[in-house]
Amino acid sequence: MTIYGSLYRTVYSLWVFLITLDLNIMECDCTNVAEIDRHLEMGVQMLARGQLHDALSHFHAAIDGDPNNFLSYYRRATVYLALGRSRSGLQDLDEVIRLKPDFTSARAQRGSVLVKTGRLEEAHIDLENVLRREPHHEEANRLYTMIEPLKREVLESYSNVRSGRYQQGILILKNIIERCPWDPALRELRVEAYKAVGDLMNAITDLRVITKLTQDNTNGIQQLASLYYQIGDVEQALSEIRECLKLDPDHKECFQTYKKVKKVNKLNTDAQEHMNNKEYEECVTVARKILREEKEKEEVQYLAYDKLCQCSVHTDPPQALNYCQMALNIKEEPRLYCEMGDAHIADEMFDEAVNDYQKALNVDENLQRAKEGLERAQKLKKQASKRDYYKILGVKRNANKKEISKAYRALAQKWHPDHYSGEEKKKAEKMFIDIAAAKEVLTDEEMRAKFDNGEDPLDPEQQQGGPGGHGFNPFQHFHFHHGGFPGGGGFQGGGFKFHFN
């Protein structure tokens, strides 16, 4: 009994262990099923709310828990397709049909995706399978009858593009791609046509879609960067070409493009910074380097001419006119006409400035800068028939205060009335008054700004109660001393010594 008792106890213990293990397994499975159901339920709720990425996370978890549940794959495929991830959605639909070949809804869905991706032969098979089971399936019938005409249109589009009939090809491809939006080959064909007719912006739009539809498409990204560079968006071109090198650091074409784009982008950024800081000479120097670097792409050259136009207005107005015109030859921007107007004003060519601002308004009738420039040029033209303080002192309109003071000193000494007599003295007095008035206006920032805007701050008619409104006294800043005058800052004349402040 002892042996049998011991054996009995051993068998009984093993039986209890197995029962306990089985119960634990059952409990674990039940828990797992409940967890999977919870993820599926949450995924459906998130999908209904449009929270696609959250829904995707729950369906991932459900599939990880049970990789044989075809409904989990079907629901996840729905989310992938809603996110535009056709490749992943198609893979899940393949898995659904592998697990449940008679799932008609999945076949119909896959047929629809295959049409959208341009895989028309495969779509034909799936849709035919659906219609055998459900002859009145509305969506399957619609897609099935579309396939043969689509095939003919695709062949026609290739024929048009390959034979150089690009516009016809683009029109046909527009209709095809509306029905096959996820076919990268069709978009590549349309990119070829867009480039041929010079429509680079639409080519860029298609290329962006292509690089999303295809994985690690370094050639597509390199082409995208080149097109951005060609339209003059060098900063975006640099961003795109960096993505290419992230995917393939040894990509030869990407690296060559990267070196050039990086250099031009740096020059363009530096020129802009100099212009913002009013370092106009430096701006001109750097912008010229862009032209030396890029001798073919007009839109990149435009970046240089535009900055040369804007900066040269302040350093060399006649040259600025040439640069502005070169920029306008590439792209008619109304702002450039305003730059030409400013350059003509700097050269006191007011009629030409009026014409420039009017051209800008012909392009954009609401351009405020052109309206203000036109008014200013007209005022300056009217002012030119009166006193021109710059001409009186013989200085340019962009002369600095030091240059103005130097010119004034020389002219004041030359035309001091004490040097003259008789009729010459009267002329000298008038000249001396004009010289002093010019110095008064051009060395005062506020009055100079008014004058530059076509308003004479010393004209009583224009300035009621303003500076000079009650007459200008040219001697208010001079000291006359009878006899000797200490210091070497003046000159002697007629018993008086004249000193400049």
Q: Is residue 365 in some structural domain?
A: no
pLDDT at res. 468: 42
**For residue 192, what pLDDT is reported?**
97
Q: What is the DSSP string of 15-78?
A: HHHHHHHHHHHHHHHHHHHHHHHHHHHHHHHHHHHT-HHHHHHHHHHHHHH-TT-HHHHHHHHH
At 462, the pLDDT band (50, 70, 90 cuts) reads: low
Last residue of a domain, one of 117, 147, 177: 147
The pLDDT, as a whole number, for residue 428 is 82
Closest CA to 408 of 438, 384, 387: 438
Where a domain ends, among 112, 147, 182? Answer: 147
Q: Does residue 209 lie in a domain region?
A: no
Question: For position 257, what pLDDT does the model report?
Answer: 94
The Cα 2–Cα 13 span in angstroms is 16
Determine, yes or no, domain membership for 466. yes
Task: Count Cβ atoms within 10 A of the Cβ of residue 15 and give its class: 0-12 exposed, 13-18 middle, 19 or more buried.
Answer: exposed
Burial class (CB in 10 A: 0-12, 13-18, 19+), 399: middle
- The model's pLDDT over 90-116, given as tens digits with 9 standing for 90+, comes to 999 999 999 999 999 999 999 999 999
Q: Predicted confidence band at 347 (pLDDT cuts at 50, 70, 90)?
A: confident
The predicted pLDDT at position 479 comes to 42
Give the domain CATH number at 455. Answer: 1.10.287.110
pLDDT-derived band at 461, boundaries 50, 70, 90: low
Q: Is the pLDDT of residue 135 over 60?
A: yes
Residue 72 placed within a domain: yes
Q: Residue 412 pLDDT more than 90?
A: no
Residue 44, CA atoms < 13 Å, CB-side half-sphere: 8
In a domain, 214, yes or no: no
Average pLDDT over residues 246-271: 95
Burial of 498 (0-12, 13-18, 19+ CB in 10 A): buried
pLDDT tens sequence across 326-341: 999 999 999 999 999 9
- Look up the domain containing 92 and give its range: 37-147
**Lowest-confidence segment of 51-60, 146-155, 424-433, 480-489 by average pLDDT:** 480-489
* Domain CATH number, residue 42: 1.25.40.10
Task: Please say if the pLDDT value at position 273 is more than 60.
Answer: yes
Total-model pTM: 0.71
Radius of gyration of the chain from its Cα atoms, rounded to whole angstroms: 41
Q: Which of 129, 147, 165 is the last residue of a domain?
A: 147
pLDDT at 469: 41
CA dist 305 and 314 (Å) reads 15
Total domains present in the chain: 2
Task: Tell me the mean pLDDT in the region 290-315.
Answer: 96
Which range scores top for mean pLDDT: 31-40, 275-284, 342-351? 275-284
Closest to 309 in 3D by CA, of 361, 346, 352, 260: 346
What percent of the chain is predicted at pLDDT more than 70?
A: 85
Closest CA relative to residue 88, chosen from 100, 96, 80: 80
pLDDT score, position 393:
87
Q: Is residue 344 part of a domain?
A: no
Mean pLDDT of the chain: 85
Residue 429 pLDDT > 90, yes or no?
no
- Whole-number pLDDT of residue 463: 57
In a domain, residue 305? The reply is no
Q: Is the pLDDT of residue 204 over 90?
A: yes
The region, left, alpha or beta by phi > 0 then psi within -120 to 50, assigned to residue 294 is beta
Position 421 scores a pLDDT of 83
Domain presence at residue 5: no
What is the per-residue pLDDT for 464? 53
b/e sequence 145-161, b meaning 16+ C-beta within 10 Å: ebbeebeebbebbbebb
Element spanning 478, H or E: strand 478-482
**Range ranked top by mean pLDDT from 288-292, 433-437, 438-442, 478-482:** 288-292
Q: Residue 497 is inside which H or E element, if any? A: strand 496-500
pLDDT at 488 over 80: no
194 or 48, greater pLDDT = 194
More confident site: 472 or 27: 472
Model confidence over 352-404: pLDDT tens digits? 999 999 999 999 999 999 999 999 999 888 877 677 888 888 888 888 989 89
Query: Does the pLDDT at position 190 exceed 90?
Result: yes
Q: Please calculate the CA angle 464-467-469 and round it to the nearest 5 degrees.
A: 40
